[in-house]
Amino acid sequence: MTNPEAHRRVTVVLFPGFELLDVFGPVGLFGHVPEIEVEYVASIAGPITSAQGAEVIATGCTAELEAVDILLVPGGAGTRTLVEDAEFLDWLKHIGSRARLVASVCTGSGLLAAAGLLEGKRATSNKLAFDWATSFGNEVTWVKEARWVEDGNRWSSSGVAAGMDMAVALVSSILGEEAGRLAARKIEYRPQTDGTVDPFADLAK
């Protein structure tokens, strides 16, 4: 008999200027896990241009999203505008508070903090943008030296490629360590499996 808990859905939030690897580093790993499916949403369904110029099709509209299992929020240059977008932040707070798990990559944690989704939580962010990202939120414990941080159902990772390490850890957490190892092996990736080891921490000023 199939265990329904073994099937999970990751909803990726896209916006103009999102960082490409923030999304497709983790998605590249999720794509090798049969139990995980991925969907892309944006404020308006259709092609969304990344910070690198590549367009990704959002098949869903955020306003129509009712239930979320795993919400993934990337970072990128576009976050600088979104932290001032009250309508987006209200939506993010609403949907994030109802999600079973919320994860961010890079400066996506700045968006989570601005939306109030990291209050009382530990989190990390891109070290080159650490001062900016950590300026949001009131009761957030920002961890400078961390590849990724897990605090309850809130996960956050450091800059860009760190999202892949978080993704392996996330898969391992929800489906077992062997599932994480298999996904990493299939893409010939050697992940950092200790989230406290951060060779880029000294980049944060």
The edge-to-edge listing of strands for the beta sheet with 148-151 is: 60-61, 36-42, 8-13, 70-73, 101-104, 154-157, 148-151
Torsion of CA 143, 145, 151, 154, to 10 degrees: 80
Catalytic residues: 106
CA dist 183 to 7, 26, 120, Å? 15, 10, 32
CA-based nearest residue to 40, from 15, 22, 17, 66: 15
Is residue 100 within 8 Å of residue 69, measured between CB atoms?
Answer: yes
Q: How far is CA 64 from CA 11, 44, 95, 107, 184, in A?
A: 13, 10, 11, 25, 33
Please compute, for residue 117, the number of CA atoms within 13 A of its CA located in the half-sphere on the CB side. Answer: 31
User: How far apart are alpha carbons 78 and 56 in whole angstroms?
Assistant: 15
Dig out the tokens for 109 from the structure: 């944690």
Determine the Cα–Cα distance for residues 14 and 187; give it in Å rounded to an integer.
Answer: 24
